[in-house]
Amino acid sequence: MHELVRSVRRDIHKMRAFVRFRLVEEPSGQSRYVAWFEPAHHILRANASFFINRFNTMNWSILTPRGSLHWDCETLLEGPPARREDGPIGDPTEQLWQQYYSSIFNPARLKIGAMLKEMPRRYWRNLPEAQLIPGLIAGAQSREAAMVDRGKDRFTGERPASLAVLAKEVAECRRCPIGCNGTRAVTGEGRADAAVMIIGEQPGDTEEATGRPFVGPAGELLRQHLTEAGFDIGKAWVTNAVKHFKFEQRGKRRLHQSPTAKEIDICRWWIESERALIRPRLVLALGASAARSLFGRTVNIQEIRSKPQQLADGSTAIVTAHPSYLLRLDGQAREIEVARFQSDLAYFADCANALAGNEIAS
Ligand code: URA
């Protein structure tokens, strides 16, 4: 029974989403919007008030094999079952729908399983835009590659001359699939003359929503530990290796996904530009993605953590774990890692605070 209830509810919802009206001219000269729909259950009556409210000032008919509804802006009539041939076939706006659908189709975000869940195949035959889906899927890979290529061209130019220009250009960056995912770019924040830079992996859900780095749960933990270590984060430039939020949509939730090495490497253009503008003398890299971004190769964090690393521009890097790693642990494992994190941050804080005296502890 529960299954049946769910299936009927789903069908009601799908009918609201997938009914497509076509404009027809009635013998009286009046226009009427007519739709052909094939529900899986007897849901026509259950949906009547939704369509009356939504399309109150239009004459419309919804024809189905189980019955039909006719609205004339005042009265709703129920009619007998109809056949597909009773409905109109196309109308002049059909092409517009298709154009709209292909232009909002983002090949970099193609998830066939999720799409089929939202738009099951049984509804396709009555959706004008669904005819395009096989072609769009078939061409997705090459369109995505072309998008990435187009982005590449833009990176051969000069580095941004200021942080404001950098932020503007990052916002428009479509050089990798994460940049193409339609989220807000999050660039660094802090003091433009900071001697210290802190680099995370990528903005998370809260960061994307607010446009600021490290303001979600991992950021809170980082700020707390930095304060305890005696370093004021307000003195640093805080940023990320990757500037857009990579996630997987699960219902209403956006679950973090780690960027690939290639995505981190593509985004290096921005972090290097940021470093060239801020010119920090000490950099704290949090986690493997930040470390890869900094060194241009994968590094073993356990091997190099707490050991200062010299960078090509003469500055010094300290690498430690990412705070969200601590958030994923519990029990004794967490206690151990928190202690190591605290010790790394204490060392970093000493170095950062010593910078005022122009030296880095070795
Ligand atoms: N994790 C990061 O690496 N950066 C943020 O800005 C937030 C969470």
Res 361: pLDDT: 44
Single out the residue in 104, 138, 172 at which a domain terminates: 138
Are residues 281 and 231 located together in one domain of the fold?
yes
∠ CA 187-193-199, nearest 5°, is: 40
Res 102: pLDDT: 82
**pLDDT score of 22 more than 50:** yes
Counting ligand 1 atoms within 8 A of each CB, the residue from 184, 201, 270 with the most, and so the one to mutate, is 201
Are residues 182 and 321 located together in one domain of the fold?
yes
| pLDDT (mean) for 240-263 | 93
State in Å: Cα 237 to ligand 1 middle: 13
**pLDDT score of 154 more than 60:** no
Residue 253 resides in a domain:
yes
**pLDDT score of 275 more than 90:** yes
Kindly write down the DSSP assignment for every residue of 94-107, as one continuous string.
HHHHHHHHHHH--G
Are residues 122 and 207 located together in one domain of the fold?
no
Counting ligand 1 atoms within 8 A of each CB, the residue from 189, 197, 202 with the most, and so the one to mutate, is 202
Are residues 118 and 168 located together in one domain of the fold?
no
Are residues 317 and 175 located together in one domain of the fold?
yes
Residue 147 resides in a domain:
no
C-alpha 311/C-alpha 282 separation (Å) is 10
- Which of 46-60, 106-120, 157-171 shows the lowest per-residue confidence on average (mean pLDDT)? 106-120
Residue 146 resides in a domain:
no
Residue 153 resides in a domain:
no
State in Å: Cα 349 to ligand 1 middle: 20
**pLDDT score of 58 more than 50:** yes
| Atom number, ligand 1, closest to the C-alpha of residue 201 | 3
Q: 132 is written with which tokens?
A: 């395009």
State in Å: Cα 108 to ligand 1 middle: 23
**Residue predicted with more confidence, 298 or 358:** 298
State in Å: Cα 111 to ligand 1 middle: 25
| pLDDT (mean) for 130-140 | 85
State in Å: Cα 86 to ligand 1 middle: 57
Res 149: pLDDT: 65
| Atom number, ligand 1, closest to the C-alpha of residue 212 | 6
Residue 266 resides in a domain:
yes
State in Å: Cα 247 to ligand 1 middle: 13
Counting ligand 1 atoms within 8 A of each CB, the residue from 214, 258, 267 with the most, and so the one to mutate, is 214
Res 359: pLDDT: 46
Instruction: Kindly report the average pLDDT of the chain as a whole number.
Output: 91
Are residues 127 and 235 located together in one domain of the fold?
no
pLDDT tens digit sequence for 314-354: 999 999 999 999 999 999 999 999 999 999 999 999 999 99
Q: Is there a contact between 191 and 163 (Cβ–Cβ < 8 Å)?
A: no
Residue 233 resides in a domain:
yes
Q: Provide the CATH number for the domain around residue 319.
A: 3.40.470.10
Single out the residue in 138, 170, 196 at which a domain terminates: 138
Domain count along the chain: 2
Residue 273 resides in a domain:
yes
User: Beta strand 31-36 with 60-64: parallel, antiparallel or unpaired?
Assistant: parallel
Are residues 89 and 166 located together in one domain of the fold?
no
Residues of the chain above pLDDT 70, percent: 95
C-alpha 354/C-alpha 349 separation (Å) is 8
**Residue predicted with more confidence, 181 or 236:** 236
Spell out which residues line ligand 1, taking CB within 6 angstroms. Answer: 200-204, 207, 213-214, 216, 218-219, 240, 324
Are residues 166 and 101 located together in one domain of the fold?
no
Are residues 132 and 180 located together in one domain of the fold?
no
Give me the domain span that covers residue 242: 162-356
**pLDDT score of 358 more than 80:** no
State in Å: Cα 143 to ligand 1 middle: 30
| Long-range own/partner contacts, residues 215-224 (CB < 8 A, 24 or more apart) | 217/324, 217/327, 218/322, 218/323, 218/324, 218/327, 219/323, 221/323, 221/324, 221/326, 221/327, 222/198, 222/286, 222/323
| pLDDT (mean) for 282-311 | 94
Are residues 194 and 333 located together in one domain of the fold?
yes
Res 137: pLDDT: 86
User: Beta strand 196-200 with 309-310: parallel, antiparallel or unpaired?
Assistant: unpaired
| Atom number, ligand 1, closest to the C-alpha of residue 240 | 4
Which band of pLDDT confidence, cut at 50, 70 and 90, is reported for residue 206? very high
∠ CA 234-239-240, nearest 5°, is: 150
**pLDDT score of 357 more than 60:** no
Are residues 177 and 132 located together in one domain of the fold?
no
State in Å: Cα 48 to ligand 1 middle: 47
C-alpha 69/C-alpha 21 separation (Å) is 13
**pLDDT score of 148 more than 70:** no
Res 17: pLDDT: 94
Res 356: pLDDT: 66
Are residues 115 and 171 located together in one domain of the fold?
no
Counting ligand 1 atoms within 8 A of each CB, the residue from 240, 247, 286, 325 with the most, and so the one to mutate, is 240
Residue 156 resides in a domain:
no
Which band of pLDDT confidence, cut at 50, 70 and 90, is reported for residue 150? low
